[in-house]
């Protein structure tokens, strides 16, 4: 085939905006749709969503919240390996219920502590020292009569409950004797349980020992980091922009022999990449799929390469089915901007999706909250942006050697509140989408979903999106 033939025979790379789900006969009400799935061979989720290993998205708070809501967080690797392992260990020690960082310090002024608890509408609070140890419990009534002294002067003996005694803790709190109850693990304070904690909003994804699920990103060339993380995480996710590389696949093959956690490899974007990964790596427990589709990724303009997640997922799923590897979960990564996009990705053969942009503006995202005028935002950047590469730990995501050209940008995203509310809304949208497609679960969606291409300007709301 000549060069002109290559252009004339160019394959159409479908994106989420190119297609829609054709409605089908629904077997049950959307509220009864089952969206449980697998992130990897052995890691089962209650919702088909994971958080991206980006340094403005997933650290401790996000990883805990993702698991509490039934998904999983993938801790980024743009940090020292010891810090990443410490975060993973903390997630595993976290209670499988929502907690708050509500406490006062023993050296706090009584009047200040009194005003703080009154503003929260609480009658009491734990007292936590600077080194994270639970040292006491204090009542608002005691603070009121403190006379300008310190909290340490009026605090009572602490009321610790080990995380493993969670049911007892909840029963004690429901008895009404206290508004707050501190939870501890290995002798350290891990959070405060309150009566109005959103217990009815969460159904956590747990491991076989009842602990929160967590995953972590690694370079396939960093075996020492993988070995350290393997002590804590349920899955390791190779964090390479273009995994279809001989050196990356050979390194992942060696890593798979050294670790016991599930090994998710990627990113891949084609049928050929999936087949080579299966052939060379040997132990593939999941595939992260999509290249250059992210909202802050500039690979398509810098390098001219593009494998959008929707098209890539379909190509990879077909390859897995043809090679007898249908049991390997596919994670759609990049370009997802709505619950409708999640439904399309699942319908194309994904088992779950990985989100960055949609979670970056939440309380739990690892970037700080900033204000521009009257509006609140959070910073968000690609892992190949200049800012991310300056931290150096993940500079090899785009090549084993240090790369001089950036393939990502930096910016801000609007503040969106708690990630738990964001996820709850997304899951409701996904359930509705499966209902429209006539599926009661994700596997049925694979079988029953039909795609349609809309004639331009015939889709409701299209004029508003295009600004016409």
Identify the bridge partners of residue 307 per DSSP, sorted by sequence position.
291
Structure tokens at 205: 């994804």
Cα separation, 25 vs 34, whole angstroms: 16
Residue 110 appears among annotated catalytic residues = no
Q: For helices 60-68 and 81-93, what crossing angle results, to 10°?
A: 30
Total Cβ atoms within 10 A of residue 210: 11
Specify the range with the lowest mean pLDDT, choosing from 51-60, 157-166, 371-380, 400-409. Answer: 400-409
Nearest to 153 by CA among 145, 164, 161: 145
Q: What is the pLDDT of residue 394?
A: 54
Cα 434 → chain centroid: 22
Residue 406's pLDDT band (cuts 50, 70, 90): very low
Query: 15: buried, middle or exposed (CB in 10 Å: 19+, 13-18, 0-12)?
Result: middle
Per mean pLDDT, which range of 52-56, 205-209, 230-234, 461-465 is the poorest?
A: 461-465
CA atoms of 195 and 389, how far apart (whole Å): 43
In the numeric block, which tokens belong to residue 342? 């999640």
Select which of 90, 297, 381, 416 is catalytic: 297
For the question of residue 146 being annotated catalytic, the response is no
User: CB-based contacts of 399: which residues, under 8 Å, 6+ apart?
Assistant: none
pLDDT tens, 125-163?
Answer: 999 999 989 999 999 999 988 877 999 999 999 887 877
- Of the listed ranges 78-92, 306-320, 360-374, 448-462, the least confidently predicted one is 448-462
Is the per-residue pLDDT at 403 higher than 60?
no
Sheet bearing 370-372, strands edge to edge: 370-372, 375-381, 410-414
CB-based contact 198:28 (threshold 8 Å): no
Given pLDDT bands bounded at 50, 70 and 90, which one contains residue 408? Answer: very low
> Comparing 384 with 447, which gets the higher pLDDT?
447
pLDDT at 399 (0 to 100): 54
Considering only residues 30 and 408, tell me which one the structure prediction assigns the higher pLDDT. Answer: 30
| Helix or strand (DSSP H, E) at 142 | helix 140-144
What pLDDT is attached to residue 402?
47
d(CA 216, CA 84): 8
- Is the per-residue pLDDT at 297 higher than 80? no
Least confident among 279-283, 287-291, 367-371, 389-393: 389-393
Looking at residue 405, its pLDDT comes to 46
**Residue 361: band (very low, low, confident or very high) from pLDDT cuts 50, 70, 90:** very high
The per-residue pLDDT for 461 is: 61
Q: Hey, what are 8's tokens?
A: 């004339």
Strands 262-268 and 235-238, bridge-based pairing:
parallel
376: exposed, middle or buried (Cβ count in 10 Å: 0-12, 13-18, 19+):
middle
Residue 281 has pLDDT above 90, yes or no: yes
Please tell me the predicted confidence (pLDDT) of residue 294: 62
Q: How confident is the model at residue 385 (pLDDT cuts 50, 70, 90)?
A: very low
Whether the per-residue pLDDT at 122 is higher than 70: the answer is yes
Whether 32 contacts 434, CB under 8 Å: no
pLDDT at 183 over 80: yes
Q: Tell how strand 180-185 and strand 330-333 pair up.
A: unpaired
Percent of the chain with pLDDT over 70: 87
Q: How high is the pLDDT of residue 169? A: 77
Burial profile 161-189: b = 16 or more Cβ within 10 angstroms, e = fewer: bebeebeebbebbeeeebbbbbbbbeeeb
Q: What is the model's pLDDT at position 388? A: 46
Angle between helices 419-437 and 339-347 (to 10 degrees): 50
Measured between alpha carbons, how far is 10 from 65 in angstroms, rounded to an integer?
Answer: 43
Choose the weakest-confidence range: 7-21, 91-105, 158-172, 218-232: 158-172
List, as one string, the DSSP characters of 387-417: HHHHT-TTGGGS-SS---S--B-EEEEE--B
Q: Is the pLDDT of residue 103 over 80?
A: yes
Q: Which residue has the tokens 């997640």?
A: 309
Q: Catalytic one among 38, 397, 416, 448?
A: 397
Contacting residues for 350 by C-beta, under 8 A, at least 6 apart: 48, 289, 313, 317, 330, 331, 332
Hunting for tokens 């967080």 — which residue is that?
73
Contact partners, residue 303, CB within 8 Å, separation at least 6: 292, 407
Asked if residues 69 and 420 have their Cβ atoms less than 8 Å apart, the reply is: yes
Work out the average pLDDT over 464-468. Answer: 50
């Amino acid at each position: 085939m000549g060069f002109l033939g290559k252009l004339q025979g160019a394959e159409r790379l479908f994106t989420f905006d190119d297609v829609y789900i054709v409605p089908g006969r629904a077997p049950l009400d959307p509220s009864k749709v089952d969206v449980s799935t697998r992130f990897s061979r052995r890691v089962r989720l209650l919702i088909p969503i994971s958080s991206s290993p980006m340094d403005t998205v997933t650290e401790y708070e996000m990883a805990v919240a993702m698991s509490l809501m039934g998904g999983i967080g993938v801790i980024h690797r743009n940090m020292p390996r010891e810090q990443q392992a410490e975060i993973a260990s903390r997630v595993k020690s976290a209670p499988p219920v929502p907690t708050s960082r509500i406490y006062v310090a023993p050296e706090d002024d009584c009047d200040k502590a009194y005003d703080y608890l009154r503003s929260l509408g609480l009658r009491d609070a734990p007292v936590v020292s600077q080194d994270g140890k639970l040292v006491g419990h204090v009542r608002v009534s005691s603070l009121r009569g403190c006379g300008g002294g310190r909290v340490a002067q009026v605090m009572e003996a602490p009321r610790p409950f080990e995380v493993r005694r969670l049911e007892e803790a909840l029963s004690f709190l429901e008895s009404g004797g206290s508004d707050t109850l501190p939870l501890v693990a290995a002798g350290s304070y891990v959070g405060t349980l309150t009566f109005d904690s959103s217990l009815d909003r969460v159904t956590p994804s747990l491991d076989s020992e009842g602990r929160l699920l967590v995953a972590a990103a690694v370079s396939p060339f960093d075996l020492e980091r993988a070995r350290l993380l393997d002590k804590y995480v349920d899955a390791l996710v190779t964090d390479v922009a273009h995994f279809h590389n001989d050196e990356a696949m050979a390194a992942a093959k060696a890593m798979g022999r050294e670790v016991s956690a599930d090994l998710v490899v990627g990113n891949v974007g084609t049928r050929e990449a999936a087949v080579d990964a299966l052939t060379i790596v040997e132990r593939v427990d999941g595939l992260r799929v999509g290249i250059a589709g992210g909202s802050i990724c500039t690979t398509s303009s810098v390098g001219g390469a593009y494998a959008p997640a929707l098209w890539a997922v379909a190509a990879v799923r077909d390859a897995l089915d043809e090679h007898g590897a249908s049991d390997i979960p596919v994670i759609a990564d990049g370009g997802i901007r709505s619950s409708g996009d999640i439904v399309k990705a699942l319908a194309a053969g994904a088992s779950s999706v990985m989100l960055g942009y949609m979670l970056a503006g939440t309380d739990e995202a690892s970037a700080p909250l900033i204000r521009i005028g009257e509006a609140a935002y959070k910073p968000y950047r690609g892992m190949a942006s200049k800012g991310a590469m300056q931290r150096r730990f993940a500079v090899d995501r785009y090549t084993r050697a240090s790369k001089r050209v950036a393939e990502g940008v930096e910016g801000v995203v609007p503040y969106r509140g708690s990630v738990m509310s964001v996820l709850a809304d997304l899951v409701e949208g996904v359930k509705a989408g499966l209902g429209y497609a006539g599926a009661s679960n994700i596997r049925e969606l694979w079988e029953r979903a039909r795609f349609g291409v809309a004639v331009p300007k015939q889709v409701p709301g299209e004029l508003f999106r295009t600004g016409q």
